Amino acid sequence: MTRRVIAQGTFDILHPGHVHYLRDAAELGDELHVIVARRENVTHKAKPILSDRQRRDMVAAIDVVTEAHLGHTEDIFVPIERIRPDVIVLGHDQHHDADGIRAALDSRGIDCEVTRASAREPRYEDELLSTGRIIDRILDRRGDD
């Protein structure tokens, strides 16, 4: 029996933190499906710079990803219902409430584990593991040009 894992996120500018999260998630199963949030659904932080398709295509290019999907425009649980995962892995710092997700899954008859990925610490002094910090550095270094 194939064990399916779902990871999800915005993945605006891919960085080592994203790769760590996806590798961590992939270790929990046989298939890793990644749901990439649509720009219009991102409300907890700044809207992504890159288009939905570009972000999905970049995530799909990561070797541990079986398939990358765009999120549903109206109901975030639609792709989850279609994929029928055994595990949903949240990023270590994602804003999602794991208990709230479990309750929503239960109400929809989806029986799967919800867990969090481990954190990845920077490996050298100036390594950036956040899209926001990458954008800040770009603006700091190139903003006056």
Residues annotated in a binding site for ATP: 10-11, 15-18, 93
Structure tokens at 129: 């593991």
Residues 6+ apart with CB under 8 A from 32: 5, 6, 7, 22, 25, 26, 64, 65, 66
Contact 101, 88 (CB under 8 A): yes
Residue numbers in the known binding site are 10-11, 15-18, 93
Contact 69, 19 (CB under 8 A): no
Integer CA distances (angstroms), 81 to 86, 105, 134, 143, in order = 11, 9, 34, 44
Contact 17, 80 (CB under 8 A): no
Residue 91 DSSP label? -
